[in-house]
């Protein structure tokens, strides 16, 4: 939550979330919540369970244990990591935004402007650059006027400058609409300053905290490899435990606004 804001009921509460893939634990005993208007970034190495966590928040999977509770009537939108369209399919941006439900030209124009690509409604989807395509996906998500916007590696494939520009747009979206934002990212050096809170996941929550401006990040290099020298990790990070091998899954797009709960159990081999 940002400074000066009064405490309000969370949009989403995750309590004791545990998810298995077969007998292997993907996430163990995860607890966190998302407040209205808050930007939360989830980070972690490949296979750490980040996308699985998003899928649980979206309601696309039933946890093995624990609950995901979404506020009644919560308006939620999702921007995927990528969307593949047939390049030979003639489809304008405006037509794409009107699928599956027709959207007025006014709503289309407003969404594109908020996504930072005004006036491209007549362009062909196949002719867009990677950055423009992601902005259109963002515009599509904004049409629903979400209270919570979820993004899964939305800058994958963009260069650092394009990613930084996209994240600046996300900050503007929060300012203009007041919606909360939950996103997964590996772009720590450009995304952290946009976050109110960062949650580091590696099968469970390793740490979470308010971002800080930090110039050299030994912990980031420890998690993501020594080749990340010079990147910024703008958060407090403390490890007092070890990690076992984890697997990850890609998120689905189901939206079940309510609670997704599993039996509260302590599976064998739990990573404490």
pTM tops 0.75: yes
pLDDT one-digit tens code per residue, 221-239: 566 555 443 333 333 334 4
The SS3 of residue 43 is: strand
pLDDT one-digit tens code per residue, 114-150: 999 999 999 999 999 989 999 999 999 999 999 999 9
pLDDT one-digit tens code per residue, 58-100: 999 889 999 999 999 999 999 988 888 888 889 999 999 999 8
Greatest Cα-to-Cα distance within the chain, rounded to the nearest angstrom: 56
Task: Find, among 244, 193, 246, 195, the residue nearest to 52 by Cα.
Answer: 246
- Strand 259-262 with 65-70, pairing: antiparallel
Rg (CA), the chain: 19
Q: Please give the C-alpha separations between residue 262 and each of 62, 106, 144, 156, 229, in angstroms, as whole numbers.
A: 7, 43, 29, 32, 41
Q: Are 239 and 44 in contact (CB under 8 A)?
A: no
Among 60-64, 191-195, 263-267, where is mean pLDDT lowest?
Answer: 263-267
CA distance 187 to 174: 19
DSSP state of 49: S
Sign for the CA dihedral angle at 152, 153, 155, 158 comes to negative
């Amino acid at each position: 939550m940002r400074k000066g804001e009064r405490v309000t009921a969370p949009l989403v509460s995750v309590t004791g979330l545990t998810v298995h893939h077969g007998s292997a634990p993907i996430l163990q005993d995860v607890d966190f919540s998302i407040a209205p208007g808050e930007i939360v970034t989830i980070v972690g190495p490949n296979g750490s369970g980040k996308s699985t966590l998003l899928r649980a928040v979206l309601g696309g999977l039933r946890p093995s244990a624990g609950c995901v509770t979404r506020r009644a009537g919560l308006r939620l939108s999702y921007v995927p990591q990528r969307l593949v369209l047939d390049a030979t399919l003639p489809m304008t941006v405006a037509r794409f935004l009107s699928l599956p439900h027709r959207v007025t030209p006014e709503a289309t124009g407003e969404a594109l402007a908020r996504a930072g690509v005004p006036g491209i409604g007549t362009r062909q989807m196949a002719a867009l650059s990677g950055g423009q395509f992601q902005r259109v996906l963002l515009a599509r998500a904004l049409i629903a006027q979400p209270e919570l916007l979820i993004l899964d590696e939305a800058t994958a494939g963009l260069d650092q400058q394009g990613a930084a520009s996209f994240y600046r747009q996300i900050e503007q979206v929060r300012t203009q609409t007041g919606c909360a934002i939950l996103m997964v990212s590996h772009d720590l050096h450009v995304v952290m300053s946009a976050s109110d809170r960062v949650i580091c996941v590696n099968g469970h929550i390793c740490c979470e905290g308010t971002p800080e401006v930090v110039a050299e990040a030994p912990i980031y290099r420890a998690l993501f490899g020594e080749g990340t020298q010079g990147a910024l990790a703008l958060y407090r990070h403390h490890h007092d435990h070890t990690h076992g091998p984890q697997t990850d899954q890609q998120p689905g797009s189901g939206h079940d606004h309510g609670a997704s709960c599993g039996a509260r159990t302590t599976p064998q081999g739990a990573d404490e």
